[in-house]
Chain A
């Protein structure tokens, strides 16, 4: 039976070192198969929230549950298995410059120990689909910003993750490419992947009718479809799509 919630935050706080909290009393839960936008001003805590979701950090206080398990209680040796269920598109791509596009996109499959023939087949197909068929062996420094982003996205989705997190995934793309990419995310979501996309792109949010999680100074609000942060605050189970 599928977990009712993929992500559960309960009164979560996060601070770096002795600084002030960048996330304060954050509580929310996202059901499996949901699609949310994560919005907020720069510095509101979007990237910090995402870093808790892809297990790069532990919360300073409160409880984070992923796939029904409290993150703090997951043994270190079991973390890779949890991380393999999560695909991440970083704002700065984080591609490895010394590897080709195909090797970059293949990383999640390689670390999971897939056979090389299957890796080549799956990665080639995906890179061709995202329009990089002519650049399979190109290294990131020779690719444009949009092409790099496509490689980063391919890497995030190649392992068919249960949870997809994207930090400004359309930031370097024209509208046509952004729409094409969003259709990929929607398609993955239809197949059961829970999607959280951090973005500033209001046009995108208007075009694709999904609820938004909004952060203001580290505090979180959830808005249903069609509502924006300047409208009434709502947070009920029925608001989840």
Chain B
């Protein structure tokens, strides 16, 4: 499906800051001035190591946290301020989340049909019991589970199947945006491929946009249209998948790309991964601002750095 980049973005994050006050003297600046846009039907991949703030961004976007400053516009509505009842309803139905660990994100005491149907129950989106059952059966079929799975409990499923339940739960509200927070990291390689294929199929069918948060760059490359590279709360580099992978500018992006082990023994044993250490690199992220590389490719750095790297 072609993505329309000329229209209104579905999600617009501008200069988002998310700080957590730990004590009177110490504040964790998890996200420092991040801006990006997601268009309808697009997949935006956020990558970075743990502690880079990628999950925090996901959680701020769905308003599990109150952003410190900046603005988040979802489908034309500003969702940074105090939410009205109507805004909340819109947000809780049209934006959904898939979590990392399918075992701990599914209530072990509920049947799959009740886990999936919980959103329907809360928002009263069905007329009678039969319709609810039909909706649940449809969604189960869509994610590749059988109708008889509805009356089972999460522990009766394998990891891949559980993640399918998590996806079904997100899909049942017909969301416009799905935030997938490391949703395949806990799965086996062959199962990862199945889940990623499923997510791609669903996107084709429903036109939902994804915010795909992960640290596995090879999968991110595979699923994303555009990528943002995050480190220590700063969005260092963003662009289409092609641009980032064929022409990485920032040394951190380069080190991230070179750290991926390839299934090629001779190459792997000879290759030395590029290392990057923020402390010794002499780069100060706070000094940087966005430089345009070409197309939709931007790098956050100072003028001198840009001249040196590009």
Q: Decide whether A and B assemble into one complex.
A: no
Interface residues of B (CB under 8 A from A): none
Which residues of A come within 8 Å of B, CB atoms? none
